[in-house]
Amino acid sequence: MSDQQSSIGSGAKFKGKISGAKALEINGDVEADIDIGKITIGQDAHFKGGIKADLAVISGIYEGTMQAESIWLTDTSRVSGEIRYQSLQMDRGAALNCRVVYNWDDTDQKTKKTKPKEKDDNPSDEVIEENK
Amino acid sequence: MSEITYISKEVSVEGTLDADDLKVVVAGSFSGNINANEVILEEGSRFDGEVDARVIVIEGELKGKVKSYQLKVSETARVDGELQTNSIEVASGAEIAGSISRVS
């Protein structure tokens, strides 16, 4: 019993914060921001809010900004907002009405931050341009 | 099976849970309000807030308000607050501080 994974049952409504969970299954109506290993949003579920996860499996309705290494959108999923992923699987029937970003921030932000610095450093900047 | 709401040991939750005719089991920590049919606060759990349910079983730590028709306080429980219930069972060893009254 103690090793059972956390879940919000079908028919339950929750609004607030959930932290410390490794895995979470949502079958109810939830409004929250969650940072987690694995999250499953079931077919009857309605989730609103931000998700940061290693793996997100969506079968229900999702609204918000989701950032996950792996995202699986099953045939019953309906997503609006924004999803950022490194690996995405989408089943036939999945409904997306959202912005989709591959490989999101880490690499993007690093290049954006380092580019202006390269311009400031004159010698290295020239070398880089020559190489290109 | 999927109708149970379960908050496992390492998890802490803050907020409002409305699970009218459903069962809620808390093994971790919960701060806020729970409204359900049956609430079980397992041994080792921490609850801070208000619980309103038909049946409530307290095995962990609770601070706040409890309203139920049937309340069971086990020997591992530590309760500090206001208990409103029509039927109460307290095991020997349970710590209760606060008030106990009937549901009006």
Closest residue by Cα to residue B16 from A19, A13, A6: A13
Q: What six digits make up the tokens of A83?
A: 């999803």
The pLDDT tens digits for B55-94 are 999 999 999 999 999 999 999 999 999 999 999 999 999 9
Report whether pLDDT(A37) > 70: yes
Report whether pLDDT(A118) > 60: no
Q: Given this model, what pLDDT does residue B81 score?
A: 95
Q: What are phi and psi of B34, to 5 degrees?
A: -125, 135
Report whether pLDDT(A125) > 80: no
Q: Given this model, what pLDDT does residue A22 score?
A: 93
The per-residue pLDDT of chain A, averaged, comes to 84
Burial of A17 (0-12, 13-18, 19+ CB in 10 A): middle
Q: Given this model, what pLDDT does residue B104 score?
A: 76
Q: Average pLDDT, stretch A24-36?
A: 95
Report whether pLDDT(A132) > 50: no
Q: Given this model, what pLDDT does residue B69 score?
A: 95
Whether B13 sits inside 8 A of A16 (CB atoms) is yes
Nearest-angstrom CA–CA distance, B13 and A18: 4
Nearest-angstrom CA–CA distance, A84 and A86: 7
Nearest-angstrom CA–CA distance, B81 and B63: 6
CB A9 within 8 A of CB B13: no
Nearest chain A CA: its distance from B22 CA (Å)? 7
Nearest chain A CA: its distance from B38 CA (Å)? 12
Q: Given this model, what pLDDT does residue A1 score?
A: 44
> Which residue in the set A2, A15, A27 is minimally distant from B9, CB to CB?
A2
Q: Given this model, what pLDDT does residue B3 score?
A: 86
Determine the residue among A6, A24, A25, A59 to mutate to test chain B binding: the one whose Cβ has the most chain B Cβ atoms within 10 Å.
Answer: A6
Report whether pLDDT(B28) > 70: yes
